[in-house]
Amino acid sequence: MYKGGKIIASLIIFVGLLTIPFFYNMGKVNAGPEINLDTPAILALAPADQQCVESPEVMKANHMQLLNQWREAAVRDGQSVYINSQGKSFEISLQNTCLNCHSTEAEKASVTGGMSNPAFGSTQFCASCHDYNAVQPLCYTCHIGSKEAAK
Amino acid sequence: MSINRRQFLRRAGMLTALGFGGAVAFTGFRKKEVAEAAEYSLKQKAVLATRWAMVVDMSKFKTEDDFNRVTEACHRLHNVPDFKNTKDEIKWIWKDDYHHSFAGGHNQYLDEHIVHSPFMVLCNHCENPPCVKACPTQATFKRRDGIVAMDFHRCIGCRFCMAACPFGARSFNFKDPRPFINEVSPEYPTRTAGVVEKCNFCYERLAKGEQPACVEKSNGGLIFGDLDNPNSEVRKIVSTKFTIRRKPELGTQPCVYYLVGGDDHA
Amino acid sequence: MLEKALTGSKKYWAWICLLLAVIAVGFYAYLNQFNNGLGVTGMSRDVSWGLYIAQFTFLVGVAASAVMLVLPYYLHDFKKFGKMVILGEFLAIPAVIMCMLFIVVDLGQPMRIMNVILYPSPRSVMFYDMCVLIGYLCINLVVGWTTLGAERKGTPPPAWVKPIIYLSIPWAVSIHTVTAFLYAGLPGHHLWLSAIMAARFLASAFAAGPAILILLCLIVRQVSKFNPDPEGGAIQSLVKIVRYAMIANVFFFVLELFTAFYSNIPEYSASLRYIFFGLDGHSNLVPFMWTAVFLAFAGILLLVFPQTRKNGKILPFALLAIIIANWIDKGMILIVAGFVPNSFERVVEYTPTLNEILVTLGVYGIGLLLITVLYKVAISVREEKDS
């Protein structure tokens, strides 16, 4: 092969650089995200109402698509109510529906304290998974914590 | 044994296509099951209309406080930041004097008092909105009820709508607005830097069956209703009293009417 | 062919390094803008477009001007332009790329730019502008690259490029027409709301673009063995195009002045009064406008008389006068003055900030780098053939 030595050497260096993260993290403890589903707001609900807007499986796999659908429906079509597969209605609002349950007093305090990124300011609900997966949704550059937050 | 460059590129291309195709096939199959039985609807309390409009009864705006109360109610509810300079300024509803709001061709003998008398100005929610036509992403759009709304998620910040609006109703977030909001209202999101914003006739309140925040705080100075409904108060005023609009000659059909010199309503 | 750009003299590399340094500074300035928002520019609620969009407007014209070589050469078989056409096409490519970059740096949310394609909006002129610009870039890339490649091999260009070359002629006109429509269709800005905008844009483009091209040809002659005008006369023909286009441009502008001032409708003349005399005590643009007027007339006069037009020492200055006059008109005044007075008949002035100017220079740096590389390739192919 023409200049074979150089090519193979460069390839090895290239592959080496590419795999640094794997070697770097090798053997380290890999603690998965801790999803906190028992916030005081959720526990205060009657057991029958404790399910999220859809079943946990659907929410785990599809919450991003559902949020996108909600956004289109509420902002563009003016449809502000979501009726789920069990016929239950929910107000379409990230701030007043989702975050009402999925936040704790500590997070609410961080909102009033002027923190601009409530969910990401803590290790709580959204952040725990998203940080783990290195996904940075931009929701909270605009949306703010729940209703009680302002108190 | 050896392959030439052309063959190499062809094979590499085929492999890439296979890779992409496979990825699409996988993700394409799994998407479907998002809440099949779900539906979307309006709130039962929601107030509906086909042509929302506003009448500004100038006789009700007498003191400085009459104006400030209205502006403040709106700006506080919608988390409109206060930059304290005109360059970055963001405003949804504000006051400006007569000869600037209604620019062009005033008689030169008009009393100084009238020339400088303040008027309440806001987005006109035009029937033929030039901003909606200009927007390259449909981030600003006209709803079925006539409200010219913004989808802040979609706005790319090209500011074509600002150039298109002949009323100066639109503001751009030149900076991150968060640090300039004194008291965050949880009722409405803030905006991110780099998007355009303007009055939305409080569609989020209409959806809950409430009147716009400015109307509520105006002590009858702002009258809001459906222009297509012959029995609505706005329709009665607009059809029987003398009202003026900003720049009607441009054909955008503004839906904010100014009732000047009329005290009693129809 | 691109490998030709990787070998060159010390001077060539020094120039490349200089450009890279300018680009680096511009990129740094852009990062500042990206992180802190468009607040770091001089733009405001009242003057919501500034230097960036103005440069975009000017450069669309430069890109479109390649047609002034393509049309005579391919449609009228004007052989003298044979060696120059490729330089025109290779000027159009960087110009279009600069246009796109100026749009991107002007966006408040550049990461969302794909929304324009995800949610196509056929009622928006901006959508069409995107379509024609991308199309024009592709056309010029394909045409320039294949014709030069064919020339290198000593074969005539493949037959399938011919229709694309013909398509490039109306396409060039379309990019500047659509750009004019961006402004000319907006109610409420009387400086822009004029049917002659597109015509004036084309006239000024066909003056400034070829003028830049001639200057580039003169530089190419200086720094390489390749002569874009071997028989003589090609440059002078282009000079005549520049002259007539500039006269048309000034004429169209005078038409605007007549309508605005003779009709005596205050709104129609407000922006013009602002740029020529100042309005309500604001007169930032007045010295620039009069400079442009002076340079336009000086340039035209120098290009009218054969003694000055054919004088190799004077010609570059005459062309420079034309280019600067056009740049002031389009790249500086037209966009900004369209916002003055604002929708409330108030005068709010605009001054670009240092950060904004650095970003602008950075984009021009990228454009110059692309021109350098493309011209290097074209020149090397020619030199290779000549020797």
Is residue A79 within 8 A of residue A69, CB to CB? The reply is no
Query: Which of C32, C343, C347, C348 to substitute to test the interface with B, most B CBs within 10 Å?
Result: C343
Is C187–B166 a contact, with Cβ atoms under 8 angstroms apart? yes
Q: Is B97 helix (H, G, I), strand (E, B) or coil?
A: strand
Q: CA-based Rg of chain B, rounded to a whole angstrom?
A: 24
Nearest CB to C38 within list B133, B168, B174: B174
Tens-digit pLDDT profile for residues B136-168: 999 999 999 999 999 999 999 999 999 999 999
pLDDT at C17: 96
Which residues touch A59 (CB under 8 Å, ≥6 apart)?
A52, A53, A66
CA distance B46 to chain A (A): 9
Residues of chain C found within 8 Å of residue B151, distances taken between Cβ atoms? none
- What residue numbers bound the domain in which C47 lies? 2-386
Chain-centroid distance, C-alpha A145: 14
Computed over every residue of chain A, the mean pLDDT equals 78
How far is Cα B73 from Cα B214, in angstroms, rounded to an integer? 6
pLDDT confidence of A116, banded at 50, 70, 90?
A: very low
Tokens 């931009």 -> residue: A138
List phi, psi (to 5°) of B52.
Answer: -65, 140
| Token pair recorded at residue A23 | 């070697």
pLDDT confidence of C48, banded at 50, 70, 90?
A: very high
Tens-digit pLDDT profile for residues A16-49: 999 998 888 887 777 777 777 777 778 888 877 7
Average pLDDT for C160-187 = 94
How far is Cα C183 from Cα C336, in angstroms, rounded to an integer? 12
Nearest CB to A83 within list B34, B36, B39: B39
CA distance A137 to chain B (A): 12
Strand order in the sheet with B52-57: B222-226, B52-57, B256-259, B243-244
* Among C334, C119, C373, B187, CA closest to A93: B187
* DSSP assignment letter at A70: H
Residue B256 has pLDDT above 90, yes or no: yes
| Token pair recorded at residue C137 | 């870039």
Q: Name the strand (E) or helix (H) holding C197.
A: helix C197-223
The single-letter code of the amino acid at B193 is A
Average pLDDT for B119-134 = 95
Which residues touch B108 (CB under 8 Å, ≥6 apart)?
none
List phi, psi (to 5°) of C191.
Answer: -65, -30
| Token pair recorded at residue C258 | 């007549």
Nearest CB to C44 within list B87, B99, B135: B87
Q: Name the strand (E) or helix (H) holding C19.
A: helix C10-36
Least confident of B105-119, B243-257, C301-315: B105-119
Tens-digit pLDDT profile for residues C314-334: 999 999 999 999 999 999 999
The single-letter code of the amino acid at B140 is T
Residue B35 has pLDDT above 70, yes or no: no
How far is Cα B248 from Cα B238, in angstroms, rounded to an integer? 14
Domain boundaries defined on chain B: 52-259
Nearest CB to C121 within list B99, B136, B155: B136
Identify whether B248 is preceded by a cis peptide bond (ω within 30 of 0).
no
Is residue C353 within 8 A of residue C47, CB to CB? The reply is no
pLDDT at C354: 97
CA distance A144 to chain B (A): 6
Residues of chain B found within 8 Å of residue C127, distances taken between Cβ atoms? 136
Q: How far is CA C282 from CA B100, C273, C286, C332, in A?
A: 17, 11, 9, 16
pLDDT confidence of A145, banded at 50, 70, 90?
A: low
Residue A123 has pLDDT above 60, yes or no: no
Computed over every residue of chain C, the mean pLDDT equals 93
Residue A108 has pLDDT above 60, yes or no: no
pLDDT confidence of A105, banded at 50, 70, 90?
A: low
How far is Cα B235 from Cα B227, in angstroms, rounded to an integer? 5
How far is Cα C363 from Cα C102, in angstroms, rounded to an integer? 7
Residue A122 has pLDDT above 60, yes or no: no
pLDDT at B213: 95
- Which is more confidently placed, C267 or B41? C267
CATH class name, domain B52-259:
alpha beta
H-only helix segments in chain B: 5-30, 64-77, 98-101, 112-115, 130-134, 160-164, 203-206, 213-216, 233-240
Tens-digit pLDDT profile for residues B191-242: 999 999 999 999 989 988 999 999 999 999 999 999 999 999 999 999 999 9
Is A85–B141 a contact, with Cβ atoms under 8 angstroms apart? no
Q: Is C231 helix (H, G, I), strand (E, B) or coil?
A: coil
CA distance B197 to chain C (A): 11
pLDDT at A151: 37
Q: With left for phi above 0 and alpha for psi between -120 and 50, is residue A122 left, alpha or beta? A: beta
pLDDT at B48: 83
The answer to whether residue C7 neighbours chain B at the CB level (below 8 Å) is no
Tens-digit pLDDT profile for residues C72-114: 998 888 888 888 898 999 999 999 999 999 999 999 999 999 9
pLDDT at C232: 80
pLDDT confidence of C279, banded at 50, 70, 90?
A: very high
Tens-digit pLDDT profile for residues C143-159: 998 998 888 888 888 99
CA distance A49 to chain B (A): 17
| Token pair recorded at residue C382 | 């020619």
Residue C268 has pLDDT above 60, yes or no: yes
pLDDT at A16: 94
Q: CA-based Rg of chain C, rounded to a whole angstrom?
A: 21
Hey, which residues does A90 pair with through a beta bridge? A82
Tens-digit pLDDT profile for residues B71-108: 999 999 999 999 988 899 999 999 998 888 987 767 78
Is residue C60 within 8 A of residue C176, CB to CB? The reply is yes
pLDDT at B227: 94
* Among C212, C167, C203, CA closest to C375: C212
Tens-digit pLDDT profile for residues A40-66: 778 888 877 788 888 888 888 888 899
Share of chain C above pLDDT 90, in %: 81
Between the CA atoms of B15, B19, B22 and B27, what dihedral angle is there, to the nearest 10 degrees?
Answer: -170
Tokens 């070697």 -> residue: A23
Angle at which helices C286-304 and C266-276 cross, to 10° = 80
Residue C160 has pLDDT above 90, yes or no: yes
The domain total for chain C is 1
How far is Cα B202 from Cα B25, in angstroms, rounded to an integer? 43
Which residues touch B254 (CB under 8 Å, ≥6 apart)?
B124, B125, B126, B167, B245, B246, B247, B248
The single-letter code of the amino acid at A12 is I
Q: Is B84 helix (H, G, I), strand (E, B) or coil?
A: coil
H-only helix segments in C283-353: 286-304, 306-309, 315-328, 335-338
The single-letter code of the amino acid at C33 is Q
Share of chain C above pLDDT 70, in %: 100
pLDDT confidence of A112, banded at 50, 70, 90?
A: very low
Least confident of A120-134, C104-118, C185-199, C348-362: A120-134
Residue B34 has pLDDT above 70, yes or no: no
Buried b (16+ CB within 10 A) or exposed e, B51-83: bbbbbbbbebbeeeebbebbbbbbbbbbbbbeb
pLDDT confidence of C216, banded at 50, 70, 90?
A: very high
How far is Cα C56 from Cα C330, in angstroms, rounded to an integer? 9
User: Count H helices, E strands: chain C?
Assistant: 15, 0
Is C267–B195 a contact, with Cβ atoms under 8 angstroms apart? no
* Among C54, C132, C126, CA closest to B132: C126
Which residues touch C368 (CB under 8 Å, ≥6 apart)?
C19, C94
* DSSP assignment letter at A32: P
Least confident of A69-73, C25-29, C354-358: A69-73
Q: How far is CA C139 from CA C73, C169, C374, in A?
A: 17, 10, 16
Residue A139 has pLDDT above 70, yes or no: yes
CATH of the domain at C89: 1.20.1630.10
Is residue C218 within 8 A of residue C267, CB to CB? The reply is no
Is residue C60 within 8 A of residue C99, CB to CB? The reply is yes
Tens-digit pLDDT profile for residues C57-76: 999 999 999 899 999 998 88
Residues of chain C found within 8 Å of residue B196, distances taken between Cβ atoms? 108
- Strand pairing category for B222-226 and B52-57: antiparallel
C185-204 residues touching B, CB cutoff 8 A:
186-189
Nearest CA in chain A to B79: A142
H-only helix segments in C65-196: 67-70, 85-106, 115-118, 125-153, 161-184
Hey, which residues does C314 pair with through a beta bridge? none
Buried b (16+ CB within 10 A) or exposed e, B98-124: bbbbbbeeeeeeeeeeeeebbbbbbbb
Least confident of B32-46, C1-15, C365-379: B32-46
Residue B189 has pLDDT above 80, yes or no: yes
Average pLDDT for B54-61 = 92
List phi, psi (to 5°) of C187.
Answer: -70, 145
Three-class secondary structure assignment of B11-78: HHHHHHHHHHHHHHHHHHHHCCCCCCCCEEECCCCCCCCCCEEEEEEHHHCCCHHHHHHHHHHHHHHC
